């Protein structure tokens, strides 16, 4: 309620206003908003909105800008997902997930005894999936953009050519690379104009990347998947032990897929279908929570955390068992997994006083990080974009062609690497996500749009590997059930459970020792850690025409820019 009152007094302002509430910050805009992991990229997206571009135009420009300013995750060598809801309430998605190369196989990361060669699925050029980002942005623009393509790529070219001012974060990365860890293959990566490693505040120019972007500006998708860029990718792969060929690049297509839909009370949820597991899992978990009476369950109480953990445990078991690339798994029970009846069954089997035990003969992987990036956008007409993209790990494979100036992903690591072998640690061997040529690897990225009365209400997403699903799920509950302003919802206590390993992961500073003790008595195995998620969200309260944005305080360079 407090938020609404604040809003009514602010409705006349058209400039961006940043307010501190709860120690965090919210940004207000009346005509549009971009929230991303990098303030310079958010500014570029907002400038496109001001020029009359729609949310898709701004998304294309923001994504290309992030490929320059946030190279640990923003990319043209990786892939991702875009959820779009237009002002009339129609939602759709664009899948630009990487694909396994034609020369890949289900045993490519195994030794002669059939065991996984430790780390091999994340290392070297064989870990690179056929990139999808340029195709995805191009398809989004072809279908739903309004400004000329070249106007959306140009700001990123300008940034790469004129130089990015190195933030503390990037300066620290530059030092790591100098000291031998990090990407070694990009000639002069993070060098300043004197050829030394750039320091905080210095300009970092990326000439080769600018040239690659110019070809994309001038030739669209073909500028990447055909012609000289594609030829150089294929030649670089061949010369250095990679398996991606010109044919892989020529064949790559981004796909428009129907959004996966659910409801939570009076809200509609539009999210990413497989090959992301995010939408199915978020909707399944919201459905399970709908069975409980949250009015009588306090936020952050033992009861609440237990219910969340048990809900997550079940959804992640279902994820491991059933989900993979829909083009290779034609019989995934998506309707069942997202149905209210199924959620009722799952809820009824939760013991409200005792932790279940995850079956160690099945399922599990714990992995997260901050090396994916999410942004949320809304334009003046109410069109909304929720986009998450990634190189998989920070700086992906760490390898790139010096002539092209960008880094390849290591997304092959998201496949189940050892067919048939699931253990209680991190390996899953279930069938739907086994490597096959041209298959897309299962993802946890969960760009989501929650709608109310047919209009976008909450645009949200996060990096964090499998924790993405759970942090997005909890942020939605924080807003809808616990009436939190967007910044508080983003920063509020989060937990993570993913079936196997059987651990309840919590944020050290945000759960009281008493709650921890009770949860342990209930049978949970607790694991404390730093913060979960790096959420970028926009709330669009129906009572006003003001958009409220917030970028997670864990994003050092992130920013919400409204106007
Ligand atoms: O698609 C996925 O689920 C992962 N490749 C995302 C990786 C990730 O989020 C890493 N760090 N934040």
Contact of 429 with 500, CB cutoff 8 Å: no
Is the CB of residue 244 less than 8 Å from the CB of residue 409? no
Residue 390: per-residue pLDDT: 98
The pLDDT assigned to 368 comes to 54
pLDDT of residue 512: 92
CA separation for the pair 319, 280 (Å, rounded): 8
129 C-alpha to center of ligand 1: Å? Answer: 14
Written as six digits, the tokens of 114 are: 């059939």
Q: What pLDDT, on the 0 to 100 scale, is given for residue 366? A: 38
Centre of ligand 1 to C-alpha 471, Å, is 13
77 in contact with ligand 1, CB cutoff 6 A: no
DSSP of 164-184:
EEPPHHHHHHHHHHHTT-S--
CB of 533 within 6 A of ligand 1: the answer is no
Q: Which of 389, 494, 475 is nearest to 37 (CA)?
A: 389
Ligand 1 mean position to 146 CA, how many Å? 30
| Distance of CA 340 from the midpoint of ligand 1 (Å) | 28
Find out whether the beta carbon of 443 lies less than 6 Å from any atom of ligand 1: yes
Q: Would you give per-residue pLDDT tens digits along the chain (563 residues)? A: 333 333 333 333 333 445 444 457 899 999 999 999 999 999 999 999 999 999 999 999 999 999 999 999 999 999 999 999 999 999 999 999 999 999 999 999 999 999 999 999 999 999 999 999 999 999 999 999 999 999 999 999 999 999 999 999 999 999 888 887 666 778 788 999 999 999 999 999 999 999 999 999 999 999 999 999 999 999 999 999 999 999 999 999 999 999 999 999 999 999 999 999 999 999 999 999 999 999 999 999 999 999 999 999 999 999 999 999 999 999 999 999 999 999 999 999 899 999 998 874 543 333 456 689 999 999 999 999 999 999 999 999 999 999 999 999 999 999 999 999 887 767 888 999 999 999 999 999 999 999 999 999 999 999 999 999 999 999 999 999 999 999 999 999 999 999 988 999 999 989 999 999 999 999 999 999 999 999 999 999 988 889 999 999 999 999 999 99
Q: What is the pLDDT of residue 2?
A: 33
Inter-axis angle of helices 207-219 and 227-240, nearest 10: 130
What is residue 552's three-state secondary structure?
Answer: coil
Q: Distances from the Cα of 229 to the Cαs of 48, 75, 212, 232, 233, in angstroms?
A: 27, 15, 7, 5, 6
Q: Each residue of 453-473: pLDDT tens digit?
A: 999 999 999 999 999 999 999
Q: Which atom of ligand 1 is nearest to the CA of 97?
A: 1
Strand positions, DSSP E, 398-463: 448-452, 455-460
pLDDT at 542: 83
Give the pLDDT of residue 363. Answer: 38
The protein residue with its alpha carbon nearest to ligand 1, atom 9, reads 465
Q: What confidence tens digit (pLDDT) does each residue in 19-72 have?
A: 444 457 899 999 999 999 999 999 999 999 999 999 999 999 999 999 999 999
């Amino acid at each position: 309620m407090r938020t609404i009152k604040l809003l009514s007094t602010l409705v006349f302002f058209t400039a961006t206003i940043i307010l501190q509430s709860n120690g965090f910050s919210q940004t207000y805009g009346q005509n549009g908003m971009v929230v991303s992991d990098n303030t310079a990229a958010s500014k570029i997206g907002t400038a496109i909105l001001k020029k009359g571009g729609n949310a898709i135009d701004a998304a294309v420009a923001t994504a290309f800008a992030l490929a320059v300013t946030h190279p640990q995750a923003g990319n043209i060598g990786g892939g991702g997902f875009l959820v779009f809801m237009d002002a009339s309430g129609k939602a759709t998605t664009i899948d630009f997930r990487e694909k396994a190369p034609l020369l890949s196989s289900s045993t490519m990361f195994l030794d002669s005894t059939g065991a996984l060669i430790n780390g091999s699925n994340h290392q070297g050029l064989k870990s690179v999936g056929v990139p999808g980002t340029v195709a995805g942005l191009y398809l989004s623009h072809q279908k739903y953009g309004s400004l000329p393509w070249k106007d959306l790529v140009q700001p990123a070219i300008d940034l790469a050519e004129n130089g990015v001012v190195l933030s503390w974060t990037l300066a620290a990365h530059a030092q790591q690379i100098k000291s031998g860890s990090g990407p070694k293959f990009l000639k002069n990566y993070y060098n300043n104009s004197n050829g030394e490693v750039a320091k905080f505040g210095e300009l970092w120019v990326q000439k080769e990347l600018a040239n690659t972007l110019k070809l994309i500006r001038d030739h669209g998708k073909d500028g990447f998947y055909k012609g000289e860029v594609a030829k150089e990718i294929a030649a670089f792969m061949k010369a250095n032990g990679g398996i991606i060929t010109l044919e892989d690049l020529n064949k790559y297509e981004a796909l428009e897929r129907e959004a996966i839909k659910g409801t939570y009370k009076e809200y509609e949820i539009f999210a990413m279908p497989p090959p992301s597991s995010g939408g199915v899992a978020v909707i399944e978990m919201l459905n399970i929570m709908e069975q409980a009476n949250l009015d009588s369950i306090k936020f952050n109480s033992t009861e609440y955390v237990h219910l969340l953990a048990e809900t997550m445990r079940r959804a992640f078991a279902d994820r491991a068992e059933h989900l993979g690339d829909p083009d290779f798994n034609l019989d995934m029970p998506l309707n069942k997994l997202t149905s209210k009846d199924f959620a009722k069954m799952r809820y009824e089997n939760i013991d409200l006083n005792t932790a279940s035990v995850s079956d160690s003969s099945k399922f599990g992987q714990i992995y997260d990080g901050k090396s994916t990036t999410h942004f949320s956008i809304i334009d003046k007409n109410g069109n909304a974009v929720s986009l998450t993209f990634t190189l998989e790990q920070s700086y992906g494979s760490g390898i790139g062609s010096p002539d092209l100036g960008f880094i390849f992903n290591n997304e092959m690591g998201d496949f189940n690497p050892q067919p048939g072998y699931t253990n209680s640690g991190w390996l899953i061997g279930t069938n739907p996500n086994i490597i096959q040529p041209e298959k897309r690897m299962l993802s946890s990225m969960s760009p989501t749009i929650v709608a109310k009365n047919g209009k976008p209400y909450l645009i949200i997403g996060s990096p964090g590997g499998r924790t993405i699903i759970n942090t997005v799920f909890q942020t939605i509950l924080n807003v809808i059930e616990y009436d939190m302003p967007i910044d508080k919802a983003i920063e509020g206590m989060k937990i993570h459970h993913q079936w196997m390993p059987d651990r309840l992961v919590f944020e050290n500073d945000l759960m009281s020792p008493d709650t921890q003790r009770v949860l342990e008595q209930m049978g949970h195995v607790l694991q404390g850690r730093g913060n979960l998620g790096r959420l970028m969200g926009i709330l669009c309260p129906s009572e006003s025409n003001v958009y409220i944005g917030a970028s997670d305080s864990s994003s050092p360079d992130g920013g919400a820019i409204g106007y």
